[in-house]
Structure 1
Amino acid sequence: MTDAIRVSGPINAAGLTMTLETGKLAKLAAGAVLVTVGETTLLSTVATSKPRDGIDFFPLTVDVEERMYAAGKIPGSFFRREGRPGESAILTCRLTDRPLRPAFPADFRNEVQVIATILGVDLINPHDIPSINGASAALTVSGIPFDGPIGAVRMAHLDGEWVAHPSYADGDSSTFELVVAGRRTDSGDIAIMMVEAGGTEGSWELYEAGAPKVTEEVIAGGLDAAKEWIDASIELQLNLRAAVEAANGPIPPIAYGANVDYSVEVFEAVAGEARDSTAKAMAIADKADRNDRLAELEAALLANLVGNSDAPGVFNDRAGEVKKAFRSLQKEVVRSRVVNEGIRIDGRGTADLRPLSAEVGILSTAHGTGLFQRGETQVLSVTTLGMPRMEQMLDTIGVDDRKRYMHHYNFTPFSTGETGRVGSPKRREIGHGALAERALVPVVPSAIEWPYTLRVVSDVLASNGSTSMASVCGSTLALLDAGVPLKAPVAGIAMGLIYAEGKYTTLTDILGAEDAFGDMDFKVAGTAEFVTALQLDTKIDGIPADVLAKALAQAKDARLKILSVMEEAIGTHRTEVRDSAPKIVSFEIPIDKIGEVIGPKGKVINTMQQETGADIAVSDDGVVGTVSIGSKDGSKVEEARRRIMLILDPPTADVGEVYMGRVVNITKFGAFVNILPGRDGLLHISKMGRGKRIDKVEDVFSLGDEVEVRVDDIDNSGKLSLSLAGDDTAAAGSDEGSSERAPRSESRSGGDSSDGSPAPERERASFEQSWDEQASGQFGDLGPAAEGAPRGGGDRDGRGGNRGGNRGGRRR
C-alpha cells in the first residue's frame, strides 16, 4: 500500500493541529484528502466528469455523509442504517458549497462532486470546518481548475475575545460564533468569501452577567481576526500540494472545453437593439409588470436577431446566446443606474426600505400568528406550543441530542407566481429555516423560565427579495402573539453590494433581481442592541473594512426601523397563552423524590393523569428533577400540581384517626392503603377478617378498592400500621400485643379462671398478629403454613402441649 503524504500545522493560538493526508485512501478519485483535527477525522474526495450537452450552468454537488459509527452509534432508524442526510449534514453541505462555488472558472461546465465522509468524531472538535478545508484541499491536489485554496475557521466570542476553532464546550460558553471562509489574493491579503454567524443559547444570560454585547463593530473585528487562521489553513493546503508535486511531479490540469454563454458580437447586437427599452423596463417597480415587459422585449429580440425558418435572422440557431446576452444587459443596466445615479429598480434610494406592515392574531385557532410584509415579500409565521416531551430528538453524530425551539421554513411555488414541486423541504428551505432559527435562539427564554417546546412555521406567501429575513420578523411576531416572553424582539434585513466602475454601493432591502445582479448577499438579524445572526456571500475578491463597516451600520438603521413597525403591531408578549394552547407549569423537585412521584411501574403518575386530566412529565439532569404539568384547562394543572406538592411534603397521619383510603398494592401478607397524598400504610392480612381467618388478600380486596381504615401505630421510620375502621377485635389485639404480658402461669393455662368458671377463649387475632410480626421480623415473610401443620411448633420442653390446642391448619 502506498505511503501517505502528510502535512500538519497549528490552526489556533492554543496549538490545535490540523493534519492533511493524501495518497493512501480513495486513490481513484481525482483528489482525496484525509483531514484530522483532534480525533475528528473525515475523508474529502472530489471527482469530475465531462459536461452534459447543452448545459448552461456549473453543476457542482456537495454531499456530507455522516457515518454513525464515527460516534460509536448504531442508527436509530428501523433499518439500522444511514438514510437521507439529516439537517446537520445538509447545513454542512451548504456551508462547504458556498465558498467553493465562486472559485471555479466562469466557463467551466464539467460536473464536479465533492463528498465529505465523516469517519470519526471526538465530540470535542466540530467536523463542519474540516469539511470546508478538506474539500478545498482535495480540489487543490486534483488538477480540476480551481481558484483556491479556500481556508475556513470558526471564531467564538469568549470572555470578550475572539477564539479560533473553539471546541463544542467553548462554543456553548461563548456569546457568538462566526464561521468565515476566504482565499488569499495576489497581494497576499485574505478575501472574505463567506460568513455564517449567530448567537448562542446562553448569549442573553452572559450579557446580563456583564459579557460585552456583540455589535456590528465587534463582528467587524472578528472578521479581521479570522484572516490569520484562514491563512494558516491555506498555507497547509499549499504545503500539501507542494509535497505531492515533490513526490509525484507536477499535478496535470484536467482539460476542459470553455463554455461561453454568448459571443461579444451577440451582446453588442442585443445592446444596440434594446438598451434604452431595457433601461425603462428595469425601472418598473412592480415585479410582475416588469417581468411581462422584459418578456415582450426578449420576444422582439428573438424575432429580429434570430428570426425563424422562413426569415432567418443574423444569429439564426443562436437563440440561447441572445437570451443570455439579454440577461447580461439587464444586469449591466441595473448596476450602472445604481452606481451612477443612486436609483434602484423600483425607484428607491440605496438606503431606502420598501413599505412595511406587521399584523398578529391572524388565525384564531393557532397559538400565535404573525404576518409580515416588506414590499411584495410576504411571510406568514405560526407558533405552536407543546409539552416539554414534544422537543425534537436528534439522532446525529454531534453533541446535541434534542432541540426545544424549532423553526421550519416553506417556500411555496405560488409565491413567485409559478408552478412547482411541493413535498419534502429542499436544501435551500432547510438552510433558510436554520438561519431564521439561529436569529431567535439568543432571545428565547430558557426551559426553566418558559417550559414549553416551541415550533414556528414560516410559509412564504409572496417572494421578491429576502424571505428568510422576513421569516425572522414573522417569527418574532408569532412568538410574542403566543405569549412567549422573548428577551427582546428580533428583526432581520437583507443587504446587497454592487462594485462597479471602481465604486462600492451598499443597498438596503434588496429585491430578488438586485440579489442576482449584485456582488454580495448580506443578511443581518438582531435586536435594537446587538446582532443575533449574520450571513454573507460575496462574488468579488474581498470587501474593504470601511465598506463592510458602512454596510453593517446601514443594516442596523434599517433593522431599527423595522423593529418600530413591529412594535406598533405588538409591543410585548401577551400575558396569557391562548385558550387553544396548553397551560404548562414546571418546577424542580429533589432527585430522590422522583420515584415517589412516578410510583411503582408509573402507578402514581398515571393515576394522577387519569384523575386530573393533566399531562405530567418528569425528567432529571442527574442533579435535580423537573416536573412539567400541562393542560388546556388551567384548573387541571393546578390540581395535578397540588397533588404532587402533597407527595413532596405529605401531611402527617395521627394514631387512632380514621381515614378513607384506596388500595394501591397487594402482597401475600397484606394490602398497602393510601390514606393521604404520599402516605401509604400496611393493612395486615390478619386484620382483614374482623375476627375471621383470611387465606388470601385478594379474597377481600382488589387494587383500587376504597376502604375505611384506622391508624394503629406509626413506627420511628414513619411506617403506618392500619386496621379496618370499626374492628374492635383488631384494636384490642393491637392493644394486647402492645401491653405488658400477663404472668406465665395465667397466660399459658388455657383452663378455668381463678373463680372456677370456664375461661373465655383468648382472641386469636392478637396472638396471630404477634406471632406474624415476630416471625416476620426474625425470618422475613414465611408465607402461609402447610395444611394441617401445627401452629405453635409442638411441645416446648413439655410445658403446655400444643400451646392452646388445635387451631386448625394453615394453608400454604
Structure 2
Amino acid sequence: MGSRAMSQGARSRAPSDKRRKDNKRQEDEMSTTSTSVEAVIGGKLIKLETGQVARQAGGSVIATLGETMVFAAATSGNARDDIDFFPLVCDYREKTESAGKIPGGFFKREGRPTTKEILTMRLIDRSIRPMFPDGYKAEVQVMSHVLSYDGVNNADVLAMIAAFAAVRISGLPFETSLGAVRIGQIDGELTAWPEDEARRENCDLDLVVSGHKDGIAMVESSAKELAESDMIDALAMAHEIILDVVKLVDELKAKAGKPEQTFVAPEVNTELRDKAFEYKDRAVAAAATEGKHERSAAVSVVKKEAVAALTAGSDDKGLVKEVKGFLKEVEKAVEREGILNGKRIDGRKHDEIRQITIVPNSFEGNISRDLARIRIKNEEVRRRYFY
C-alpha cells in the first residue's frame, strides 16, 4: 500500500518537475538572448535592450532613461498593390499605471488617446516615414507604450528612440539609424533632457529634434520670445547629442539586428512620367493665379486636362491612378521650385507678412473675418484677474 502510494506520488510530481525544468530552460534562453547597450548621452544614462519581450515582432526594444522605461515594437505585413500610399501606423500610449496610479472619478477606464499621445505618434511618424524607400507599400506597425514613468524624465522622446531602434533592428528596409533628443532653455542655459518640473515652471524653449548622422530630420518646438541665434545653438547642440544616440542604436543593431530585407522598387513608367511633366509649365502658371479659390480652380483644370489627355482611349483605372500619381510629383516639384526661388504660393516672399487689420471685436484677414468676444460672468473671476 505504501509503495503504491509512493509510486503514485512520484508520478504526480513528475509533470511538475518537467514543467519546472522547461521553465528554467526558457528563462536561461531568455537571459542568453537578451541584448542591451547603454551610454551616457547628454549627461544622462540611456539604455536600450532587446530580446526580453515581443520576440515574434520584427524588432522590439525597451528604452530606459532614469527610471522611465518605454517599450516599442515594429513589425510588417505583406505588400499591397491596390494602394498608392505607404500604410505606416505609429501608436503611442501612456497608461496611468506607468506612474503607479489608477484612474478615478467618473471615467474609470482609459479610452481614446490623449492629445499628448497623438502628438507623440506624429513625432515618430514624421521622423521614420521618409526613411523608407519610395514605392514601399508593406503594412508597417510601430507600437509603443510607457512601462514606467519616474516623474522626472518625460517618456515621449524616449519612445521615439525606442521606436527608431525597434525599426532599425527589425530588418525592414530603412535608410539609416535615427536618434532624438529634447533640448530646453532653463534660466538662459541650454539643457539636454530637461526635467519635467523645470520644463513646466521656467523653460523658455522646449525643442524636440530627430535626425541622423547626415543632418536633422524633424523639429518640433514651443518657445517664448527667443533670439534666432539661441535657436540655432539649440539645433546644433541637439544634432551633436543625436549623433551619440545614433551610435548607440547602431551598436544595438550590430549586436542583435536582423538581416535587412531586400526591397526592389517597382519599375516606373518613365515615358508616361515625362509626358506628365510636360504640364509643369502650365502648373507653374496656374499656381501663380491670384486668390486662393481661383488658384485651386486653375490647378484643378490643368490636372483634369492632363488626366484626360494621358488616358485617352483607355478604361484602365490603374493607368488613371498612375497618371494622378505623376501629377502629384509635378505639383510637389512646382511647390519646391517656388520655395527655392524664395516665393510663397501666393507670390509673397519669405520675409513678407500678409496684410492683417485688427479692430476691436473682430479679426480681418485677406479672406475670412472672425468675430471673437470674451464674456466673464463670474464676478469673483472678474475681480481677481481684471481689477
Alignment TM-score, normalising by the size of structure 1:
0.41
Q: Which residue of 2 aligns with 1:347?
A: 347
Question: Which amino acid is the alignment partner of residue 322 of structure 2?
Answer: E
Q: Which residue of 2 aligns with 1:76?
A: 104
Taking the TM superposition and a 5 Å limit, the aligned residue runs for 1:212-227 are 214-227=226-239
Question: Which amino acid is the alignment partner of residue 301 of structure 2?
Answer: E
Question: Which amino acid is the alignment partner of residue 351 of structure 1?
Answer: D
What's the RMSD between the two structures over aligned residues?
2.8
The verdict on how the C-alpha distance between 1:11 and 1:343 changes in structure 2, with shifts beyond 3 A counting, is: closer
Q: Does the residue aligned with 2:380 lie in a helix, a strand or coil?
A: strand
The verdict on how the C-alpha distance between 1:379 and 1:125 changes in structure 2, with shifts beyond 3 A counting, is: farther
Q: Which residue of 1 aligns with 2:92?
A: 64
The verdict on how the C-alpha distance between 1:131 and 1:286 changes in structure 2, with shifts beyond 3 A counting, is: same
Matched, 1:331 2:127: no
Taking the TM superposition and a 5 Å limit, the aligned residue runs for 1:173-212 are 173-185=202-214, 191-199=215-223
Question: Which amino acid is the alignment partner of residue 51 of structure 2?
Answer: G
User: What is the CA-CA distance between 1:278 and the residue it aligns to?
Assistant: 2.5
Q: Which residue of 2 aligns with 1:239?
A: 251
User: What is the CA-CA distance between 1:317 and the residue it aligns to?
Assistant: 5.3
CA distance, structure 1, for counterparts of residue 149 and residue 141 of structure 2: 23
The verdict on how the C-alpha distance between 1:233 and 1:297 changes in structure 2, with shifts beyond 3 A counting, is: same
The verdict on how the C-alpha distance between 1:39 and 1:336 changes in structure 2, with shifts beyond 3 A counting, is: closer
CA distance, structure 2, for counterparts of residue 87 and residue 381 of structure 1: 27
Alignment TM-score, normalising by the size of structure 2:
0.82
Q: Does the residue aligned with 1:318 lie in a helix, a strand or coil?
A: helix
The verdict on how the C-alpha distance between 1:379 and 1:239 changes in structure 2, with shifts beyond 3 A counting, is: farther
Q: Does the residue aligned with 1:69 lie in a helix, a strand or coil?
A: helix
CA distance, structure 2, for counterparts of residue 138 and residue 110 of structure 1: 17
Q: Which one has the largest radius of gyration?
A: 1
Matched, 1:230 2:242: yes
The verdict on how the C-alpha distance between 1:107 and 1:120 changes in structure 2, with shifts beyond 3 A counting, is: same
Matched, 1:264 2:280: no
CA distance, structure 1, for counterparts of residue 312 and residue 94 of structure 2: 53
Output one character per residue of 1:608-627: Cα deviation in whole Å (capped at 9) or x when no partner: xxxxxxxxxxxxxxxxxxxx
Contact 2:67 2:148 in 1 (8 A): yes
Question: Which amino acid is the alignment partner of residue 194 of structure 1?
Answer: M
Taking the TM superposition and a 5 Å limit, the aligned residue runs for 1:152-551 are 152-171=180-199, 172-185=201-214, 191-199=215-223, 214-244=226-256, 251-256=258-263, 258-259=265-266, 263-272=269-278, 274-308=279-313, 318-336=319-337, 339=340, 344-362=344-362, 371-373=363-365, 375-376=366-367, 378=368, 380=370, 382=372, 482=374
- Indicate the percent of aligned positions where both proteins have the same amino acid: 32
User: What is the CA-CA distance between 1:227 and the residue it aligns to?
Assistant: 1.8
Which of residues 66, 71, 77 in structure 2 aligns to 1:49? Answer: 77
Structure 2, unaligned runs of 5 or more: 1-26
Taking the TM superposition and a 5 Å limit, the aligned residue runs for 1:524-673 are 581-584=377-380
User: What is the CA-CA distance between 1:79 and the residue it aligns to?
Assistant: 6.4
CA distance, structure 1, for counterparts of residue 262 and residue 371 of structure 2: 50
The verdict on how the C-alpha distance between 1:230 and 1:267 changes in structure 2, with shifts beyond 3 A counting, is: same
Taking the TM superposition and a 5 Å limit, the aligned residue runs for 1:64-143 are 64-76=92-104, 78=106, 80-143=108-171
Question: Which amino acid is the alignment partner of residue 287 of structure 1?
Answer: K
Contact 1:109 1:259 in 2 (8 A): no
Q: Does the residue aligned with 1:20 lie in a helix, a strand or coil?
A: strand
User: What is the CA-CA distance between 1:166 and the residue it aligns to?
Assistant: 1.5
CA distance, structure 2, for counterparts of residue 304 and residue 22 of structure 1: 54
Question: Which amino acid is the alignment partner of residue 231 of structure 1?
Answer: L
Q: Which residue of 2 aligns with 1:533?
A: none
Q: Which residue of 2 aligns with 1:24?
A: 52
CA distance, structure 1, for counterparts of residue 234 and residue 277 of structure 2: 44
Contact 1:110 1:256 in 2 (8 A): no
Between Structure 1 and Structure 2, how many residues are aligned? 356
User: What is the CA-CA distance between 1:372 and the residue it aligns to?
Assistant: 4.9
User: What is the CA-CA distance between 1:148 and the residue it aligns to?
Assistant: 2.7
The verdict on how the C-alpha distance between 1:197 and 1:304 changes in structure 2, with shifts beyond 3 A counting, is: closer
Question: Which amino acid is the alignment partner of residue 356 of structure 1?
Answer: I
CA distance, structure 1, for counterparts of residue 290 and residue 299 of structure 2: 13
Question: Which amino acid is the alignment partner of residue 134 of structure 2?
Answer: A
Taking the TM superposition and a 5 Å limit, the aligned residue runs for 1:723-734 are none
Contact 2:60 2:166 in 1 (8 A): yes
Q: Does the residue aligned with 2:249 lie in a helix, a strand or coil?
A: helix
Q: Does the residue aligned with 1:236 lie in a helix, a strand or coil?
A: helix
CA distance, structure 1, for counterparts of residue 339 and residue 206 of structure 2: 34
Q: Which residue of 2 aligns with 1:410?
A: none
Contact 1:307 1:316 in 2 (8 A): no
Structure 1, unaligned runs of 5 or more: 186-190, 204-212, 246-250, 363-370, 383-477, 483-577, 587-627, 635-812
User: What is the CA-CA distance between 1:77 and the residue it aligns to?
Assistant: 6.0
Output one character per residue of 1:419-466: Cα deviation in whole Å (capped at 9) or x when no partner: xxxxxxxxxxxxxxxxxxxxxxxxxxxxxxxxxxxxxxxxxxxxxxxx
Matched, 1:6 2:52: no
CA distance, structure 2, for counterparts of residue 268 and residue 336 of structure 1: 18
Moved more, 62-71 or 132-141: 62-71
Contact 1:284 1:345 in 2 (8 A): no
User: What is the CA-CA distance between 1:350 and the residue it aligns to?
Assistant: 4.1
Contact 1:282 1:330 in 2 (8 A): no
Q: Which residue of 2 aligns with 1:536?
A: none
Question: Which amino acid is the alignment partner of residue 295 of structure 1?
Answer: S
Higher share in helix = 2
Q: Which residue of 2 aligns with 1:641?
A: none
Greater relative CO, 1 or 2 (CA 8 Å, sep 6+)? 2
User: What is the CA-CA distance between 1:116 and the residue it aligns to?
Assistant: 1.0
Q: Does the residue aligned with 2:71 lie in a helix, a strand or coil?
A: strand
Q: Which residue of 1 aligns with 2:9?
A: none
The verdict on how the C-alpha distance between 1:18 and 1:354 changes in structure 2, with shifts beyond 3 A counting, is: same
User: What is the CA-CA distance between 1:283 and the residue it aligns to?
Assistant: 1.6
Question: Which amino acid is the alignment partner of residue 222 of structure 1?
Answer: A
User: What is the CA-CA distance between 1:215 and the residue it aligns to?
Assistant: 1.4
User: What is the CA-CA distance between 1:629 and the residue it aligns to?
Assistant: 7.8
Q: Does the residue aligned with 2:79 lie in a helix, a strand or coil?
A: coil
The verdict on how the C-alpha distance between 1:357 and 1:108 changes in structure 2, with shifts beyond 3 A counting, is: farther
User: What is the CA-CA distance between 1:80 and the residue it aligns to?
Assistant: 2.9
